[in-house]
Amino acid sequence: MVNNLKNIIAKQKEILSSLENEVSNIEANDIVKENQKLKEELEKYKLSLKKEESENEKLSVENKNLRNILYEQFYNEKISILNSAEKRMDAYFKAHVEGEMNRLARFELSVKRRIDEMTRVLRANRVNLQDEIFVKLEELRNLLNVKVTEARQEIMRQSGAFSERRNEGLAQLKQEQVTEEEIKARAKQNNIESLIA
């Protein structure tokens, strides 16, 4: 019985030795090494992917902030240009209306002076004040007053209508949203300007 047990122990040692050899062979096998290497690379790639995703998220937020800043800058420039244009148009049309009013006033004054001069000449020549020519001159003076008043009102009406249309157009332009194409064009222009500078 002791011999049987010794034989069993010897066989067990043999089997254990054989298993240890087999484990050494398996460990030495390229497939296991390749598998381990792939697992390590996979872990590296996972870490790299997480890092890239984090960086991508950060850049996305930064890009959104820059886009908002560019949008705001472009919108402010647009409003500034429109306000400047509005001031220039106001100055131009004010000068134009004033010029028209001044020409009209000069014309009115010139005609009234001629009427006054004709009246003086007629009086100097002792034409009767009741004569029809004095009546016609007074009618001419009254007609001049009516026509000049109408012309002034028409100038004011036209300038008011123009101002109203202009103000509506400017208000509409100020309300328009900045488009993506405008932002891209402005960004491109900024890039060109920075390269030139």
Q: Are the C-beta atoms of 52 and 140 separated by less than 8 Å?
A: no
Q: Are the C-beta atoms of 140 and 134 separated by less than 8 Å?
A: no
Query: 24-65: per-residue pLDDT in tens?
Result: 776 666 666 777 888 888 899 899 989 999 999 999 999 888
Which pLDDT band holds residue 157 (cuts at 50, 70, 90)?
confident
Cα distance between residue 107 and residue 100, in whole Å: 10
**How many separate domains does the chain show?**
1
Q: How many CB atoms lie within 10 A of CB 169?
A: 12
Is residue 165 pLDDT above 70, yes or no? yes
Smallest CA-to-CA distance from 122 within 130, 112, 140 is with 130
Q: Are the C-beta atoms of 104 and 154 separated by less than 8 Å?
A: no
- Tell me the residue range of the domain where 37 lies: 2-196
Is residue 187 pLDDT above 80, yes or no? no
Query: 55-96: per-residue pLDDT in tens?
Result: 999 999 998 888 888 888 888 888 888 888 888 888 888 888
- pLDDT: which is higher, 112 or 28: 112
Q: Are the C-beta atoms of 183 and 70 separated by less than 8 Å?
A: yes
Provide the 8-state DSSP code for 128.
-
Tell me the mean pLDDT in the region 179-189: 76
Which pLDDT band holds residue 107 (cuts at 50, 70, 90)?
very high
Q: What is the mean pLDDT of the chain?
A: 83
Q: Is the pTM of this model over 0.85?
A: no
